[in-house]
Amino acid sequence: MVTCLECGFIASRLQWTHFKFNCTGKFANGKEYKAAYPGAEIVSIEVAKSTAITQDNLIKKYGVLDGTARWEQYKKKQSASNSFEYKKEKYGWTRERFDEYNSSRAQTLEKMIQRHGEFAGATKWEEYCIRQAYTNTKDYFIEKYGVEQGTRKFLEINHKKSIPHCPTLLAASLNITEDQATNIILSRQTKFFTSNLEEEFTSLVELELGQLDHISSRSPYGKWSKKLNTYVVYDIKHKDCVIEFNGDYWHANPAVYADSAIIRGKTAVDIRHRDMLKLETARDAGFKTLVVWELEFKANKDETIKKVIQWILNEQQ
């Protein structure tokens, strides 16, 4: 069941008739309601699951043969209507508008925080990741398709899905280096999540130095880390300098959190260890590194920026 945040009415679905005739009269439909209450639900999880167009639901409704045929038809229709060619012909969309549309539909940490606030958004993001992670497990495929078919589908799907996103697999498929593969992956991503405070920090640095070579929100720079067996993205890369602007919570600032503190399911020590290996990856590649903490920047923004500018200038000599 869901609760109307405007009047307190409880139902399995909040339809337009409720908002127009039975609520406070403030909204004419669910769209106006959700604009006033971002993140509010208008359909219960149970109803959403039972009415969703899925292969299982279609088979339950129409039988195996007809349900499977309808599912294949639905997939083809969705595939065509979600293509750039379809959107261009029907709506006159440009490639930029199409990419923007696809980006707006994706679930990201940034969007979760915008909808629900920093703490609740981060919590919902972790819950979403856990759910998504389970649907990508071997147990899930076996549960859905049986041992033999499930195992085969699990291996096939994950190998295919991994190639465009994994520098190791992409490098092998294109016969390039893992760093080159990392650059290709990052070039597909228009923006990484950055806090308002980090954006302010970056803007103040650029005000003094001019445009930086790479910042994560505009032109992300990353390296393949053998120490972490993944690629890592740095907040700022300018010439041969790398700067990490570390949020106190996200990076377990030792001035705030004890070593044993648990943050997002990990100990503060583990979080700092990963950050250390990330910095070592940059130093091994010949970069000088500097860490700026959120707490430090908040305490004295002017002095922090002066320190950073002086450090960059000294390292370039």
Q: Which pLDDT value is given to residue 203? A: 93
DSSP assignment string, the chain? -EE-TTT--EESB--HHIIIIIS-SS-SSHHHHHHHSTT--SB-HHHHHHHS--HHHHHHHH-HHHHHHHHHHHHHHHHHHTSHHHHHHHH---HHHHHHHHHHHS--HHHHHHHH-HHHHHHHHHHHHHHHHHTTSHHHHHHHH-HHHHHHHHHHHHHHHHTTT-HHHHHHHHT--HHHHHHHHHHT-------HHHHHHHHHHHHHH-S-SEETTTS-EEEEETTTTEEEEESEEETTEEEEEE-TTTTT-TTTS-TT-EETTEEHHHHHHHHHHHHHHHHHTT-EEEEEEHHHHHH-HHHHHHHHHHHHHHHT-
Q: Which pLDDT value is given to residue 180? A: 83
Q: Which pLDDT value is given to residue 268? A: 94
Looking at the predicted structure, is the pLDDT value of residue 135 above 70?
yes
Question: Quick one: fold of 192-315?
Answer: Endonuclease; Chain A (3.40.960)
pLDDT tens digits, residue range 99-131? 766 665 566 666 777 667 777 777 777 777 766
- Mean pLDDT of the region 149-167: 72
Domain ranges of the chain: 192-315
pLDDT tens digits, residue range 58-110? 888 888 888 888 888 887 787 777 777 887 887 788 878 777 666 655 666 66
- The percent of residues above 90 in pLDDT, for the chain, comes to 30
pLDDT range class, residue 139, cuts 50, 70, 90: confident
- Mean pLDDT of the region 204-213: 92
